[in-house]
Amino acid sequence: MGVEIHMRRLIVCALSLLLVACGYQLRGTAEWPDSLARIQLSGAGLTPEFERHLVPALRRAGARLVDDSAAATATLEIVGVDEGRDLLALGVGSTVRDFQLAVSIDFRLHEKAETASPRGGRVSAQRGIQTSATNVTAALAEARRVQGELRDEAIAALVRRLVAGR
């Protein structure tokens, strides 16, 4: 039994050395860019409800939000937020059986750096939902829950895009 344990340890050490030798390293968290250190939020899509979810995500990533445009190093313009539902399948009696929920965020980033040009794009998240014709209340509650999860996923994708600089 003792030899077996030593062999396992030896194998684990050998595999660890192989991973280190080939340059493998665990992925760390990316740093919030200095060009976005002090960011101001604006845009027609920036509703109080959406802002309530966006602001904490930006702060967790390392952004410092400012209200004064003179103090901002960049402005994140939320052009629009679209939370949609698309019908996928009908059940008996033309009741909705399956549908797809989606959240899309259109944005533009205006950096104050002299060489920076505005960049933007769209991030989105989507998921299909199956409903039950017998329990409509539960189906609606599930759709609201999933819609909230999709909004959070889209916000996380937006933050990742800002950090990546693309």
Regarding pTM above 0.75, the answer is: no
Residues 3-20 have pLDDT tens digits of 777 678 777 666 666 656
Please give the order of strands across the beta sheet that includes 38-42.
64-65, 38-42, 74-90, 96-111, 119-130
The answer to whether 139 and 97 are in contact (CB under 8 A) is no
For the domain 32-164, what is the CATH code?
3.30.160.150
- What is the domain partition of the chain in residue ranges? 32-164
Radius of gyration of the chain (CA): 23
Cα–Cα separations (whole angstroms), residue 121 to 18, 90, 105? 41, 33, 8
- Low-confidence spans in the chain with pLDDT less than 70: 1-2, 6, 12-30, 86-97, 114-117, 132-136, 166
